[in-house]
Amino acid sequence: MPKVVIESLESPGVTVTLDVKDGGALVDLCDENPTPVPFSCRSASCGTCRVDVLEGMDQLLAPEDEELDILDVFGDDPKKRRLACQAKMRPGVGLLRIRPVAVDV
Ligand code: FES
């Protein structure tokens, strides 16, 4: 069963581990469970939900143009970083490990 491990940015070493039955959107997974991933626009506009993919990028479907455009605005490498509001997991067995990106204030 696919598994998503979400590391906490504020509390190093604290993780949320979720079993994912059939893949699907990361945003739905985060809505259905208490996770440390922040969201704002949910439409690939603000970059609030950017996450570093620490392991298992191959568990995600390729980013679409909207996601690539906002990652480009932030200078992010889509091979290492994704938008949690847009990324979708493939169905199947695998591990995805992510961590929210620190936001400069
Ligand atoms: S929540 Fe705004 S880009 Fe994902």
* Ligand 1 nearest atom to the CA of residue 45, by list position: 3
DSSP summary character for residue 90: P
CB 36 within 8 A of CB 8: yes
Tell me the per-residue pLDDT of 41-63, one tens digit each, with 9 for 90 and over.
999 999 999 999 999 999 999 99
User: Which pLDDT does position 20 carry in this prediction?
Assistant: 86
Q: Tell me whether strands 3-7 and 95-100 are parallel, antiparallel or unpaired.
A: parallel
For a ligand 1 pocket test, name from 30, 37, 76, 83 the mutation site with the most ligand atoms within 8 angstroms of its C-beta: 83
Q: Which residues line ligand 1 (CB under 6 A)?
A: 39-42, 44-49, 70, 83, 85
Sequence spans of domains, the chain: 3-100
* pLDDT at residue 104 is higher than 70: no
pLDDT tens for 64-78 read: 999 999 999 999 999
Q: What's the whole-number mean pLDDT along residues 31-50? A: 95
pLDDT of residue 11: 81
Pick the atom of ligand 1 nearest to 41's CA: 2
Q: Which pLDDT band, with edges at 50, 70 and 90, does 105 fall under?
A: low
Domain 3-100 carries which CATH code? 3.10.20.30
Q: Concatenated DSSP letters for 21-40?
A: SS-EEHHHHHHHS--S---S
Question: How much is the pLDDT for 73?
Answer: 97
Asked whether residue 103 carries a pLDDT value surpassing 90, the answer given is: no
Amino acid 9: pLDDT: 84
d(CA 59, CA 86): 14
